[in-house]
Amino acid sequence: MKMTGFFILVYHLNFINLAENCPNYHMNYPTIELEFGSVTILENFMIAKMNEGILFDISKNETLLEIGTEVFQGKPYAYISHRVNSYAVDPMVYKQSAKFPNLKVIAVVSDNEMTRSLASTVEREFYTDSNCFQVFTELKNATNWVQGKLSLQITK
């Protein structure tokens, strides 16, 4: 991770500690701004929005995996890709993600039919546990699904 990303991460991790002591914590989730998009950190999952036109490749995925490892510190967590912008995804990122045992669930959210179709067919094939990879049209449905999947993972 580049040093600027590291400082942003440290700043936002400190913000998480401060936010937990605030009465409106659940309304103030921190967002980490990256060169290629942003990541919002919630209690046990993260929601990423990538910038228009990027190639989401292994190096960018590594940055997100490092954030997940640092923030969730060994606890099971989920990743939601909220695809509000159009960009390309190297499907090898899913093979890389499968090597991180605490990343238990991946969801893709898009209102674009073609994006959902590609995620459902091509991207899902590259993720080791296709039962923990799902595609949605609405973010709310994705968050409910990942919460349910994570609760099953925690009780195992």
Q: Is residue 138 part of a domain?
A: yes
Q: Is residue 58 part of a domain?
A: yes
pLDDT of residue 111: 96
Q: Is residue 24 part of a domain?
A: no
Closest C-alpha among 37, 1, 35, 30 to residue 13:
30
Span 27-66, pLDDT tens digits: 578 999 999 999 999 999 999 999 999 999 999 999 999 9
Q: What whole-number distance in Å separates Cα of residue 76 and Cα of residue 105? A: 9
61 in Cβ contact with 97 (< 8 Å): yes
Which residue segment(s) compose the domain that 147 sits in? Answer: 31-155
52 in Cβ contact with 78 (< 8 Å): no
Cβ burial 24-41 (10 Å sphere, 16+ → b, else e): eeeeeebebebebbebbb
Span 84-123, pLDDT tens digits: 999 999 999 998 998 999 999 999 999 999 999 988 888 8
Q: Is residue 26 part of a domain?
A: no
Q: Is residue 14 part of a domain?
A: no
pLDDT of residue 23: 36
What tokens does 52 get?
């228009």
Burial class of 136 by CB neighbour count within 10 A (0 to 12, 13 to 18, 19+):
buried
Q: Is residue 40 part of a domain?
A: yes
30 in Cβ contact with 15 (< 8 Å): yes
Q: Is residue 150 part of a domain?
A: yes
Mention every residue, 6+ apart, whose C-beta is less than 8 A from residue 87.
50, 51, 52, 53, 54, 55, 56
Domain count, the chain: 1
pTM greater than 0.85 (yes/no): no
Q: Domain with 113 in it: what CATH number?
A: 3.30.750.24
Q: Is residue 70 part of a domain?
A: yes
Q: What whole-number distance in Å separates Cα of residue 144 and Cα of residue 122? A: 24
